Amino acid sequence: MTQQHADERTRIHEAMDRLLTGQPTVSNGSLTITALAVEADVHRMALMKRHADLKNEFYERVRNETQQVPETELRLREIVTKLRKTIANQKAEIDELRQQVTRLTLASAVLTQQQDPSASPKSESGNVIPFRPLER
């Protein structure tokens, strides 16, 4: 581990402590990785890639020490809720459309039969009785 790497980790730990105690010096104080990166004066992607363990530690500390759910998780939960509602609505719409297709198919068959009353089935089984056309 290089000295620069060790310095970054130290700054990140100190920034975590400041954010979790509500005493930010540079950032807006929100409990996000972006605020942590600003507070530690580390590029956000460096925090996400090189120090992924510290990112996970930060989220774990947010959950345990503040009894809060991280903001990113809250946003994701809201999105999941919206998507579940959308899926439920789409399933209901698909069911309604399937029922409508069935009704339209039956209506089409009835209308076709009414237009050509002379049409009769080519082969009849002994136990099948054909429908008579509707009389008007």
* 55-74 per-position pLDDT tens digit: 999 988 888 887 777 777 88
Contact 54, 37 (CB under 8 A): no
Query: Tell me, what's the pLDDT at 91?
Result: 96
Number of H helices and E strands in the chain, helices first, is 5, 0
Query: What does the alpha-carbon distance between residue 72 and residue 64 come to, in Å, rounded to a whole number?
Result: 16
Q: Which is higher by pLDDT, 129 or 4?
A: 4
Query: What does the alpha-carbon distance between residue 41 and residue 26 come to, in Å, rounded to a whole number?
Result: 9
Mean pLDDT of 92-102: 96
Mean pLDDT of 123-132: 69
For tokens 């363990």, name the residue: 53
Mean pLDDT of 20-37: 89
